[in-house]
Amino acid sequence: MVVFAAHAGLRGLIPGDFGVTVFFFLSGYLITTLLRMEHEQTGAISFRAFYLRRVLRIFPPFYLVLIVATLLTAVGALPAPGLHLRPEALAAQALYLTNYYLIQNGWFVGHAPGTYIFWSLCIEEHFYLAFPLLYVLLLRLTPSRRRQALVLGGICALVLAWRLVLVFPLHASYDRTYMATDTRIDSILFGCILGVFANPLLDSTRVRSERWRFIWFPLGLAGLLVSFLVRAPSFQQSVAYSLQGLCLFPLFIAAVRYHGWELFQLLNLRWVKFLGVLSYSIYLVHPEVLWAVEVWTGTLPGVVKAAVGLALTLAIAYAIYRLVEKPAARLRRRLSRVLVPAAAPAVRPAAIAPAARPQASRP
């Protein structure tokens, strides 16, 4: 919704770019948590099951939206004056290379309007290809989760150093540091670190809930505020991403471990959870819908266009969820039961509770 609001006309007020950073962090955290739980419960990680789950989760909605948006553009139903579809642009999208294509050619060259949003999914897909291999390597080299986290943190530091080189000596463009996998993968790896070490779902904590509420959580919010207010381009292109990644640690830990806090209760409202279920399809279709609404509605007030765009986005996303995502999820579950090794006695994750030292129990 942060990304939607920014694209719907509130970019000057809503940090839509930060919404993408949260999306990256969350992906890294979830994927690492699932891989870690699989390894702790079965003693192994099934690459076949992992990649099959990712394919069935990501590909069907993605290629559906890509094909439909491209066809609508080709027949003029999604008008874009001066835009000509290019085979190389479509190939880049189909092969998850949109981010590097946009860096080289610009945001609105050769592809259907709104499908520029696929750049972030390319970074996700590159991560999915590489991270399971890296994680298994870490598991074999060291059983210490602290050391695993330090290795991942070292990679994040190297990515920051690379961004600094690109920004200062090389004077790289904003798009180069914003969209490239080699400059943004740390936003996902920060979430991986939380999945490996101090995971609020799986690990206990010695830090009392009062410290999270009155010290670490406010510090995380303050750091994010700094990352928004310092507008120097060199800072925004380099350090801001790392600062935001660090500040998301206390926010995620508090949101997962202390989900009963008043603020986090909002995240468990029924309609908010429903938006979460639709979030992938919402992300995929909303730029195309907003573009179409802008073209079709002409001079209507911006707030009306945003409302119409939101209603259409939710309707289309719900249709994709019912007709595409749910059937794919059922197939994913059936095949996962076949491909994942039989579980050893389960390792019980630490309880999610506000106690300073929660006892081991099922979440």
Give the tens place of pLDDT for each residue, 60-82. Answer: 999 999 999 999 999 988 888 77
Amino acid at 97: L
What's the whole-number mean pLDDT along residues 234-254?
A: 96
Distance from C-alpha of 354 to C-alpha of 258, rounded to nearest angstrom: 6
What's the whole-number mean pLDDT along residues 106-122?
A: 94
Q: Which two tokens stand for residue 212?
A: 């999270």
Give start and end residues of each alpha helix (H) in 142-180. 145-167, 174-179
Please determine, for residue 216, whether its predicted confidence score (pLDDT) is greater than 60: yes
- Residue 28 to residues 126, 152, 187, 217, Cα–Cα distance (Å): 12, 11, 8, 20
Distance from C-alpha of 216 to C-alpha of 357, rounded to nearest angstrom: 17
Token pair 């050769």 in the structure block, residue: 110
Secondary structure percentages of the chain, helix, strand, coil, to 5: 75, 0, 25
Query: Which has the minimum average pLDDT: 68-72, 207-211, 309-313?
Result: 207-211
What's the whole-number mean pLDDT along residues 17-26?
A: 95
pLDDT of residue 363: 35
How confident is the model over 187-204, as pLDDT tens digits? 999 999 999 999 999 999
pLDDT of residue 344: 43
Stronger pLDDT, 76 or 168, i.e. the higher one? 168
Residue 86 is classified by DSSP as -
Write out the H or E segment, with its range, that includes residue 201: none
Q: Which two tokens stand for residue 124?
A: 């996700």
